[in-house]
Amino acid sequence: MTLPSTTTPYPGAVIAPGASIHETCRINRGALISAEAILAPDVVIGKNVMIEGKVIIQRAVHIAENSALLGPVSIGEQALIGPGVIIGLVNAETDSRDTHIMEGCRVGRAVQILAGLHLGRHARIRAGSLVTGDVPHYGLAGQNPAVLERYACPKCGGRLVEIRAVFGAIDTYCEDCGAGEYRFPRLFWTDAFNRVLLPGYAFGELDPNPYADPIWDDDREIGSV
């Protein structure tokens, strides 16, 4: 149901009664928002975005046009979701349907993410990928099905490289901007790269043809939002 223009700053959007939308949000024409949706301050919803079921979107998240969020889904602060993304597709591999996208994630255009999965803090997903497993914090994943290519600096997207191993963990820093130190469990570092991501933060088969381009570029992966 479209709310009367006297009570909504979102002309052309269809917002079901009961939806909780902060007054600082921006919602573009063609958006469809369910009654169970909760939008925190400064959220931007692009044209023709569909939000179905219980979807919680935290502060300053940007959802680009023609994307679909199929709840239950939660998205952390300052995440950036590219155009044509589908989050919450039916997943026969897990009993859980709750999909969690943590703060600072960057999801490329036309990505598909199965239901019940977790994307860790500042994870990055390349355009056109199919995510069939959980992505660790700072993980950069891509392909179909998605594999863990490397870990990416949350500040610049550069490659995180090992400084030292300590007590079953790996300390890293960004070889591009020098930011750090970021710590990972050894199991998430040793033999994890270029393996298919699985639910439960597990790793599957080794990809025989790993992605050759180490660069992350927002314009290429996400496009203008």
Full set of structural domains in the chain with CATH: 14-154+194-221 (2.160.10.10)
Mean pLDDT of the chain: 91
Q: What is the DSSP letter of 4?
A: P
DSSP string, 42-86: T-EE-TT-EEESSEEE-TT-EE-TT-EEESSEEE-TT-EE-TT-E
**Checking DSSP bridges between strand 73-75 and strand 99-101, what pairing results, if any?**
parallel
Distance CA 80, CA 120 (A): 13
% the chain with pLDDT above 90: 77
pLDDT digits (tens, 9 = 90+) for 120-166: 999 999 999 999 999 999 999 999 999 999 999 999 999 999 999 98
Contacts of 199 (CB under 8 A, 6+ apart): 91, 93, 94, 116, 117, 132, 133, 134
Residue 4 has pLDDT above 70, yes or no: no
Distance CA 206, CA 147 (A): 8
pLDDT digits (tens, 9 = 90+) for 9-60: 788 999 999 999 999 999 999 999 999 999 999 999 999 999 999 999 999 9
pLDDT at 94: 66
The pTM score is: 0.92
* Contact (CB, 8 A) for 82 and 69: no
Helix (H, G, I), strand (E, B) or coil at 219: helix
**Around 60, how many Cα atoms within 13 Å sit in the side-chain half-sphere?**
6
Count of CB atoms within 10 A of residue 70's CB?
Answer: 20
Q: What are phi and psi of 22, to 5 degrees?
A: -70, 150
Helix (H, G, I), strand (E, B) or coil at 218: helix
Q: If you average pLDDT over residues 171-186, what whole number do you get? A: 90
